Amino acid sequence: MTSGSSVMVVWEGTRPLLVEIQALVDHSMMANPRRVAVGLEQNRLAILLAVLHRHGGLQMADQDVFVNVVGGVKVTETSADLALLAGDGFQPA
């Protein structure tokens, strides 16, 4: 099991807002691993996991992945991709 978090800047109108993104990756006991994204788009998480598999060589097919944006903020910026993957949750164990 690995977990991690990173902080990024999101613009709410003209104000910068610091947002923490948390990730938890754990071995799945089910046939279909869970992919849960709170505050991020579910489809974006699926694409990022596919990119990690193809270009990063990380096997995520048997892993549960949980992603959360702290504070209930909904992040739609693509810059969240880097913040999510830079967190320790997606580093090889």
Q: What is the pLDDT of residues 4-60, one digit of tens each?
A: 899 999 988 899 999 999 999 999 999 999 999 999 999 999 999 999 889 888 888
One-letter identity of residue 25: V
Q: Domain 2-90: which CATH class? A: alpha beta
Q: How confident is the model at residue 2 (pLDDT cuts 50, 70, 90)?
A: confident
- Report pLDDT digits (tens) over 55-79: 888 888 899 999 999 988 899 989 8
Listed in order, strand segments (DSSP E) in 28-75 are 35-38, 63-69
Extents of the domains making up the chain? 2-90
Query: What three-state secondary structure class fits 71?
Result: helix
**Mean local confidence (pLDDT), 80-90:** 83
Q: Terminal CA-to-CA distance of the chain, rounded, Å?
A: 8
